[in-house]
Structure 1
Amino acid sequence: MQDVFNSKEAQTYIDRINKLTADSPRLWGKMSVDKLLSHLNVGYEAMYEPEKLRKPNFISSFLMKTFVKSKVTNETPYKRNLPTAPMFLVQYEKDFEEEKKRLIGFIQKTQQLGREAFDGKESFSFGKLTAQEWNNMMAKHLNHHLEQFGV
């Protein structure tokens, strides 16, 4: 599992993102590349700008912690064509360059804050996570979707 807190490894994600173009074809799934970048940004918004999103209710939160958390935070890669959680669905076209810039900024911010800032940090959906769980969740999500677009 790559380490999103390591500057060299964070740069590999940025390099892969910079290989995307506004018309990069997907290898599977339904998202266009602009929606993909926006979709990835929603995960970072949940970490850094949670006031922008609607917090899950008690039942949703319980179900997420009980049944989804371990699948999202372990080191097993995601399978292709898994359904997207409703809060992560992007309905409208987005500005490719703006979304790309935002995503790179979020990756850089995460790396600069470092592992220590995430150890015990509260997750929007899963409660407190270890730094390794945060790492796995971010790395898996980035890898899954960058592979979806062949980068």
Structure 2
Amino acid sequence: MQNVFDAKDAQNYIDRINNLTSETQRKWGKMSVDQMLSHCNVSYELVYEPEKHKKPGGIAKFILKKFVKPKVISDKSYPKNSPTGPQFVIKECKNFDEEKKRLIGFIQKTQQLGFEAFEGKESASFGILKSHEWNNMFAKHLNHHLEQFGV
């Protein structure tokens, strides 16, 4: 798995994103390319703009930690057409260029903050995570959706 905290790996993701156009077609799933970029931005919004999203309540957080967290932070890739959380569902069309710029900015910010900034950082959904768990979560989500759009 690539390391989102490594400058070369982060640039690899950015290069792949820059290969997308507003006309790029998906290989599977339902999202358009602009929706996919917005969807990927949610992972970072939960870290950098948490006020945009409702925090899960006690029961929901228990379920997320017990059943979803192991799948999200593992090294195993997501299967095609995996279910997604409600806050990650993007139904409306988005501005491709704006979403692309935001995602690249989030990737750059994460890489610049580095491994140490994420060690022991709390996730609103999953509780305290180690840096490698944050990396797995970010990296495999990005890779899954960039592969979905053939880049």
TM over 0.5: yes
For structure 2, which runs of at least 5 residues remain unmatched after alignment? none
* Identity of matched residues, %: 66
Partner of 2:124: 124
RMSD: 0.5
1:25 maps to: 25
What aligned pairs does 1:47-66 form with structure 2 within 5 A after superposition? 47-66=47-66
Match of 2:93, SS state, is coil
Deviation string for 1:103-134 (max 9, x for gaps)? 00000000000000000000021000000000
Q: Point out 4+ residue stretches in structure 1 off by more than 4 angstroms.
A: none
Distance apart, 1:101 and its partner CA: 0.1
Aligned to 1:108: 108
Residues 1:45 and 2:45 are matched in the alignment: yes
Query: How far is 1:34 from its partner?
Result: 0.2
Q: Which residue of 2 aligns with 1:144?
A: 144
Gaps of 5+ in 1: none
Task: State the distance in 1 between where 2:35 and 2:105 align.
Answer: 17
Rounded Cα–Cα distance in structure 2 between residues aligned with 1:84 and 1:23:
24
Partner residue in 1 for 2:94: 94
Task: For 1:79 and 1:18, locate their aligned partners in 2 and report how far apart those are by CA, in whole Å.
Answer: 24
Q: Counterpart of 1:122 in 2: which secondary structure?
A: strand
- How many residues align? The count is 151
